[in-house]
Each structure stands twice: as C-alpha cells, then as structure tokens.
Structure 1
Amino acid sequence: MNRHAHGPWRFWLCALTLWGAGLWPQAMAQDASASAGHARHQRPQLATGAAMAPDGRLWVVGVNAQAQLFVQTTALGGPVLWSEPRILNTGQDPIAADGESRPKIAFGPKGWVVISYTMPLAKRFTGFVRMLRSSDGGASFGEPFTVHQDRQEITHRFDAIAFDGKGVLHTLWIDKRDQSPKGSAQAYVGAAIYRNASQDGGASFGPDTKVADHSCECCRIGLARNAQGDLKATWRHVFDGNTRDHAFASVGAAANRITRSTFDGWQINACPHHGPGLAADAHAGANGFHTVWFGIRKVNGQDQAAVRYARLNAQGVPLPKTERTLPDPRAEHADVMAHGSKVAVVWRSSEGAVTTLKAWLSQDGGQNFSLKTLSQTTGYNDHPRLAQNGEQMVVVWRNTQEIQVHELHF
C-alpha cells in the first residue's frame, strides 16, 4: 500500500473509524507534527516548491535526502535537463518539507527572489517562518532570517508568499499567538491567519498583522493576484459549529473582513491537511477567481468526500451553477492555475500502490473540461504543483526517483 497517498475516500473511512474510537483529533495532531518535520517523521521529505523565473526558466526548491535545502532549474520547450542541485545555506535549521508544508520560491521585480520555509521548533506543533533573499535574480542568496516579529515558541507555520502587482512581497502564515491560555473559560477555536509585507523584496518587513481569526490549523493557504495586481487569499476556516469550509479575503484589508467561499457544511473538530487552490479568472472580463478544494458534505443523507471546483466573483462569492466535482472519486490535493480562457486543474489519484497524476483542462474559462492522464508512479510522491509564466503552464511532481515536469497543452 502507498503510505504517502491517501485518497479522500480512504481519508474519510479512516476518520470515521478514529472518530468512533475517540482518536481522530489525536491522529490529526500526530500527523500535523509529522508534516512539520519533527524527528518522528519517517517519510522522505518530498514537498517541493516551484515557480517560473522572468526569463522563463522553471525553478524548484526542496529538501534532499540529507535534509539540505536545494534549488534546481531547467529550461522548457524540450527535454527536461535539470541543473545540478545547488545547496543553500540554511545554517542548522530543520526544514518542513512534507505534504501541505513545503519550501516556496517567488520572483519579484529588481532581481528579487525569495525562498521561504517553516523551521520546526523543539516543542510540538511549533515553528518559525524563515526566508532566504536574493537581489541578483537568484545567483546568490543571503543567510536565513525569521520573517515575523513574534518569536514565541508557538505555531507560525504553513507559510505562503507572493509579490503583488506593485512589487510588494506578502508573507502569510498560520499563527497561534491568540489562543486562550490554559484554564480559560472560553477556548479559542482553531488558529489565525497572520501576514506582513515587505516593500524592498525581503530586506525589511512591516508589522505582523492579523488577517482573520479562527483558521483551520494545518491546511495550506492559497494566493492569487487579480487583474489589478491585488493579492487575494483563501484558506480552510472554522465557521460556527466547527464547520470547516473556506474563507476568502483581500490581503492587506482590515482584519476579519472575510467572505465564505465554500458551503460543504463539514462539521469536524480536526484539520484534514487538505488546503485550497486559487487562480485569477480574467476570461471575458470576469475579474473573479477559480478555486479547488476538498470537502465532505451530505448528499442524499450520505457523507460524500470529494475535490470540487468552482468560480468565484471578485469578492470571493461562489458563482451560481459553476461548482462541479472533479471526475475522479480518488482525487486529492488539487491545484489550479489560469490564463485568459485557459484553466488547468491537476491532482493525484491513488489506488493501491499506484498513484496517477491527472489534469483537467479548459479552453473556455472553466465551462468545459477535458481529462488527461499525465503520469503514474509507485511509492512515495509529492502533491502536484502548478507553475506558470503567462499562458505557459507546467506541472511539477516529485517522487523518490525524480522531479517530473509536464508542460500542459490545451
């Protein structure tokens, strides 16, 4: 059995079993600790970040078998010929590189390149968001530093980074500084989303600012830039009654001004480690977004686990009649990107020891899709990640043997 790949149906069956035994929250907490890179972690750390440089080369950042942070690059349009891995100086930092927690890379103006990662601390479920910075297009990187001002030994994890249209670097993360102290009469539900901004490509940062209270604890944050260059975020949120649907907000707007963007109504006191994806929708002047997410909802009285796709308006509200379930009951950890009328959704699908990489491609802004199988592997493998440079989109998928790159042709 492929221990690294757990499809939604397998996930929910396990959840029901653990919930009945009273072990579900404990199991999720243990998985959270493992995904943060603690010493008990036994799986190879394959979670890899990917981005396209301004010159069109694809960059990846990940952790090797010696727990060292590395970058590699390749040109596109022909055979994938990776450069030699370049080991980066991260001092003695342990690095989280599994599942929803992965190193990330982003390119900005003026030759700015930043790489972020979560550094687990000694106490379980805690970490610092760390960053490396380059001002010469990635030819060299400085020493690592902590992004946030808060230095408590608490959760600062599952970071996300992006430059907005004005060249401002935004870093977001899941943060637990607002949790109620032990013995408090009213517990603080979940965690919070915090952020800060840098006007100079990571040389300095503004204050830590809260985006919203009551996020889920261990799911990735999705980021996308709209047509005006403004950054938007989506994350799994804890709504009333421990309902774990998704929220949407403008990065930099006032705290707690959020929109509910999914309505599965999944009520569970645990985190599924299965965050959303977000991409701008500029087709025919839409100025909205494409989103993908995993959720469980009641359908004819039965729990139905699925990865779903929908379009959102500019404020993050779901557009009527755009939601659909991905055509694969084993789909998990989907990602989405778009350019004009072209929309790509990718995911992995597991059955026994075999994991399949699939793509769902649209040429009409997400109204119709065609399904493609891109690759298969056995054993441990990462979640697929999309990277793009304009209309050119590629899928990056890592296993224990290689980092695959699949250019998408619509």
Structure 2
Amino acid sequence: MLRPCYKIALTFLFGLLLASGCHSSAKDVNAENPANRALNATVSVSFGPDGRLWRLIPTDNAVFVDSSTDNGKTYGNPVKINSNTQKISTWPENPPAITVSASGRIHVLYYADEQQQSTSFFSYSDDNGQTFSKPVLISDHADSAMHYMDQILVDNNNNIYTFWHDARDDRHSHHSATGALSLYYAVTDEPATAEFSNRFISGGVCSCCRTAITFSPGGKPVILVRMVFPDGTRDHALITMTQNGQWSKPQRTTHDDWKIDACPEHGPALSIDTQNRAHLAWFTLGDKRQGIYYAHTDDLGKTLSEPMPLGNAGHLPGHPDVIALGSRVVLAWVEFDGNATDIVIKESTDRGLTWSKDRKILNSSAKSGHPKLVSNGEKIFLSWTSNDAGHHFIEI
C-alpha cells in the first residue's frame, strides 16, 4: 500500500531502495577518493567560468569537493567542507547542490540529520576550492521543520538564490490531500554576512518530488514543480519571477490528471533555451498519460506542445533530465529491464521539433543515482553514479 508523501520522505531519510572564520582544507582528507563511497550514489557537478568541472561528493559523515581540468578524466585532491562530523543525508531524488558563479565563487548546499531530519547547510569558497566557509543553516525554522530538495542559482550579478521544500506550515495548502508542503527561497549577494531571509513562494507543492529551477534568458528564476492541486491531482506548474522580483501564480502546464494520495518521488526537469523556449520532461501515471514525457512551451506553460512519450514502456523508464544548448536539446533517462539499469539518451538539433532514435550509453546492475545533464557552454555532458563503477562523466 502506498504511503502519504511526508511519510515516505521520512522513510527515505533512514534508507532508500533504489565568512565565518572556520575553514577546512585538503589535509583533512584520507588518501582514498571519497567519490568511491558516495552516499546513495549521489554526486553533483557544475562547471566554473574557466571550464573547470567541480564535483560535490556526500559520504556517511562528511561532504567533499574536488575538481577536474580535463572534463572528468582526472580529479585533484578532495577538500572536506564540514570540519565537524555530521550524519549526512542524501538520496538520488534529493542530492546536494553545487554551482559556481561568474566570479568563480563556489557555492554548496548539503543535508545533515541534525535539528530536523534533512537540515540544509550552505558553504562557499572564494579561493578556488582550497578552503570552504563554516557551513551555516539556510532555514530560519531549522530547529522545528524539515527542509530539503535544495537548489542554488547564481545570476550574473552574483545574487545567490537558494530554494527548498519546507514543512514549517501547511496554511497555504487549501485542500485535504496529504504530502503537500511549501516552496521557500532566500536571496543574497554577500554570503559572508547573509542571514538567508526566508521567503514564501507557493504552497501545495508535492513534498517528495524534486523541483526543477533554472534562469530565463532575462536572468530571472523559473520553476517547474509538481503541485498537489485542491482535488488531489498531482500535475506540474511553472512559476516565474517577474522583473520586479515578485512570483507569478503557478501556471498549470501538464494535464495528465494523476490523482494519488501518495508520493511519486519523481520530480520534473526543465531547461530554457536562449529564445525563451522552455523544455520540460516529467513522469506521470495519470488517467490521460502514463510514463515519462517531453514537451516544450513558448509562453511559460500557457500552451504546451504535444507531449512525446519517452523510452521502452516495458523497461520502466523514469527520472528524465533535459538540457538545451543553442538549437540542440538532449534528453536522458533510466530504464530497468529487471536485471540492470540503462542510461538512454535522445537528441534534437532543431529545438525539440524532431528527434533521433533512443541510444543506450551506460549500464549498471548495481545501485545507482539519477542521470544529470550539464554543459560548459560549448558541449553537453552526462553525470551518473553507480555503486559498481563509481562516477561516470562523459560527453554526449
């Protein structure tokens, strides 16, 4: 029997199936590369402005960052972020987050079970990853409410946006469906003195489905989120920040009519190209559609292209990601044939109008994470971690 979202979120924290003056440095790290013991096969990556690839690795009681100058072929010495031992919490649907600003500042969000199960901590580095600031809390309700599903965006003016799912209240959920939390954010341009003033975006957010967030060509955040609508339907909506810094009302974008009083644990993916076309990928088991789908919208969700089904329905396709680079769009997802997990990709060279055939590029019979697509501005890469082969990082 399926359980409500918030109960599944708590269950995940205990085990899954599938500048402040204190700094730490590389001398704290054992000789063994922590990537070989990444917790729950979750590794996060981000390119810096100089093309260096930065990698964030959570382990049982510490979080590490290392980097590569050859697109993931080799990595330098890892640096430990948390000087004090913590019980690190992460799972494939809820990985830690890393991003690098245009100025080269490295920003990190990770989770530990402290004040609440899955408590979010922020740290940064201004010296090219040699040292990191003492981790600080981002939630002003950290001692009383769970918060997770973090995201970081940094704009060209070094404004740092952090987003998360927050259980502090349910007064914004005007319906009886279970598993609906609120989406909060904070924004600052100076992390050394920031207090991360918490601001509400929307209620009615499906608690265990990861939210997708990116910038529009105009430099404002755009959010694709699975909502729990008043009738219990769990479809997706786009939320955009306007030029005056306000948030639009959620614009319902998918209409699959999936009514379920339990958690899908299957968040959407979003990428926006330079001509403001938003490319979406998502999972549903609705009355109208079942499986994973791709579509695009040119008006931020008011109208949507005909959803395109992805993958082999007999191999449980799931956890899609999407990325747009110029007129090129790449999709990646997982399939499971009962014995092993495949990573499958599909490509378009005309902004999502026509598509190549599916292509399997990686395979593992061990526990693995979700595929993640990233770009250095010129090429597209896939990041994926499995317990048998470790972290894969390959050009698509």
Q: 1:54 to 1:95 in 2, by over 3 A?
A: same
Q: 1:257 to 1:224 in 2, by over 3 A?
A: same
Corresponding position of 1:199? 189
CA distance in 2, matches of 1:384, 1:230: 25
1:333-387 alpha-carbon deviations (Å, 9 max, x no partner)? 1111111101111111111221101111111101112222111111111111111
Q: 1:186 to 1:398 in 2, by over 3 A?
A: closer
Corresponding position of 2:46? 51
1:278-319 alpha-carbon deviations (Å, 9 max, x no partner)? 10122xx3x1210111111224xxxx5211111122433343
Q: What displacement does 1:160 show?
A: 0.9
Corresponding position of 1:21? none
Q: Do residues 404 (structure 1) and 392 (structure 2) align?
A: yes
RMSD: 2.5
TM-score (normalizing by structure 2): 0.86
Q: 1:262 to 1:90 in 2, by over 3 A?
A: farther
Q: 1:205 to 1:345 in 2, by over 3 A?
A: farther
Q: Do residues 270 (structure 1) and 262 (structure 2) align?
A: yes
Corresponding position of 1:173? 164
Corresponding position of 1:25? 3
Corresponding position of 1:311? 296
Task: Assess if the C-alpha contact under 8 Å between 1:46 and 1:97 holds in 2.
Answer: no
| 1:324 paired residue among 282, 305, 308 | 308
CA distance in 2, matches of 1:189, 1:159: 17
CA distance in 1, matches of 2:294, 2:322: 9
Q: 1:254 to 1:112 in 2, by over 3 A?
A: same
CA distance in 2, matches of 1:189, 1:407: 38
Q: What displacement does 1:118 show?
A: 2.2
Corresponding position of 2:73? 80
Unaligned runs of 5+ in 1: 1-17, 19-23
Q: What displacement does 1:68 show?
A: 2.2
- Please identify runs of 4+ aligned residues in structure 1 that moved more than 3 A: 28-31, 40-44, 184-189, 251-256
Amino acid in structure 2 at the alignment position of 1:365? R
Amino acid in structure 2 at the alignment position of 1:357? I
Q: Which moved more, 1:326-335 or 1:249-258?
A: 249-258
CA distance in 2, matches of 1:35, 1:71: 24
Amino acid in structure 2 at the alignment position of 1:116? L
Amino acid in structure 2 at the alignment position of 1:288? R
Amino acid in structure 2 at the alignment position of 1:51? S
| 2:379 paired residue among 392, 398, 403 | 392
Q: 1:381 to 1:127 in 2, by over 3 A?
A: closer
1:149-200 alpha-carbon deviations (Å, 9 max, x no partner)? 22342121111111124321100100121226xxx99788610100010112
Q: Do residues 349 (structure 1) and 349 (structure 2) align?
A: no
Q: Do residues 138 (structure 1) and 132 (structure 2) align?
A: no
CA distance in 1, matches of 2:175, 2:385: 46
Q: 1:142 to 1:349 in 2, by over 3 A?
A: same
Corresponding position of 1:8? none
Q: Which moved more, 1:289-298 or 1:201-210?
A: 201-210
Q: How does 1:8-407 map to 2 (within 5 A)?
A: 18=1, 24-25=2-3, 29=6, 31-36=8-13, 38=14, 40=15, 44-64=39-59, 66-76=60-70, 80-121=73-114, 126-179=117-170, 190-201=180-191, 203-251=193-241, 253-254=245-246, 257-282=249-274, 285=275, 287-299=276-288, 304-321=289-306, 323-329=307-313, 330-370=316-356, 371-400=358-387, 401-407=389-395
Q: Percent identity?
A: 24
Q: Alignment partner of 2:227: what SS?
A: strand
Task: Assess if the C-alpha contact under 8 Å between 1:166 and 1:229 holds in 2.
Answer: no
Q: What displacement does 1:144 show?
A: 0.7
Q: How many pairs does the alignment contain? A: 369
Q: What displacement does 1:398 show?
A: 0.6
CA distance in 1, matches of 2:83, 2:222: 30
Q: What displacement does 1:148 show?
A: 2.2
Q: Which moved more, 1:144-153 or 1:241-250?
A: 144-153
Q: What displacement does 1:142 show?
A: 1.0
Task: Assess if the C-alpha contact under 8 Å between 2:240 and 2:248 holds in 1.
Answer: no
Unaligned runs of 5+ in 2: 19-38
Q: Alignment partner of 1:376: what SS?
A: strand
